[in-house]
Amino acid sequence: MNPTIEINLKNLKKNWLYLNALSKKHIETGAVIKANAYGLGSNEVANALWEVGNRSFFVATTEEGILLNKILPKNRKIYILNGYDKNYKKAFIDFSLIPVINSPLNLSSFIENNKNNSMCIQIDIGMKRLGFQKDELVKYIDIIKKLNLDLVLGHLTTAVKPKNIANEKQLNNFKEIIINFPTFRKSLAASHGIFINNNYHFDLTRPGVALFGGIKDRNILNVVNIELPVLQTHFLDVGEGIGYGLTYFSKEKKKVATLAGGYADGLTRNFSNIGFLYHKKIPCPILGRISMDLVTVDITHLKEEPKKLTFIGNEQTINDLSDIANTVSHEILINLGNRYTKQYLN
């Protein structure tokens, strides 16, 4: 049997309610569930969020939007962050998918094919990734205002550092541009942006990773639990190496457990020789390189021989892992891969 990933939908719902409570009552809280809800399963996640009152769902691609349409009731909104795609002309119309238009070219394609449906625009306030540039927007303001404009979006580059001056600068850029859209709804903050302060909230917030526990805040709960089964235990004698490339040599006799989980299961090779698995609260150091399907850990100090060790849980959250791997919690989630058997806790 493949190892199990337990996805705690109760905690997911609590996280949404907490994020919702951080902004004023009249401000809507949406949910970003692109990439199959950060790998955790968009159907189950979307249904759970619907139950607590979420009505605006953001995904990256049209295909993701089409899948969501199948499971959500009609009075939801599904936003496609990567913009309008005329290859899906019929789906956009039939399912009322709302494209986030990011450029003049994308705008003309939308107008040509779909102009009676709802749409959003994103303005580039500093990331230089997607969105209308300030100077080019001027030419299109009147055209855009005649369309069914649902929302004006901006996206922050540095919200993870609330005091960074880029935030205030980008907030001001956003404010300067939205003067042109006084009667339309606006959205700026993703997960980290919500925590900067309520000047960043506008009419709708767009948390993604925080819903899944991927932000350090004492009220954000862990959503993912993974325990890996021990396949065998053995001893490592003084001077013996372990794993591919023999990157670890033991100076003393050690007891080693080999577990079913490797870099195909989100134990990135960056954790080799520096990461831990846990037996209850006791850390067990990873010894040697992590392989695709297996990991070897030191259990010399354990009083009992464990059947399983914890990879992700309250002892070691996705935030702890992103610190060790020098990445973001988003990537830790996405890297968990498809091999686990998903078990949802309702």
Ligand X SMILES: *Cc1c(COP(=O)(O)O)cnc(C)c1O
Q: Under the rule (CB under 6 A), what is the footprint of ligand X?
A: 32, 34, 81, 155, 190-191, 206-210, 330
Question: Which of 186/330 has CB closer to ligand X?
Answer: 330
Is residue 344 part of the annotated active site? The answer reads no
Is residue 84 part of the annotated active site? The answer reads no
Question: Which of 134/234 has CB closer to ligand X?
Answer: 134
Q: How far is the CB of 109 from ligand X (least distance, A)?
A: 20
Q: How far is the CB of 126 from ligand X (least distance, A)?
A: 13
Question: Which of 29/191 has CB closer to ligand X?
Answer: 191
Q: Of the listed 86, 139, 145, 244, which one is catalytic?
A: 244
Residue nearest to ligand X (CB): 208
Q: How far is the CB of 118 from ligand X (least distance, A)?
A: 17
Q: How far is the CB of 81 from ligand X (least distance, A)?
A: 5
Q: Of the listed 13, 34, 77, 254, which one is catalytic?
A: 34
**Kindly report the CA angle at 49 between 116 and 62, in degrees rounded to 5?**
40
Q: How far is the CB of 113 from ligand X (least distance, A)?
A: 23
Positions annotated as catalytic residues are 34, 244
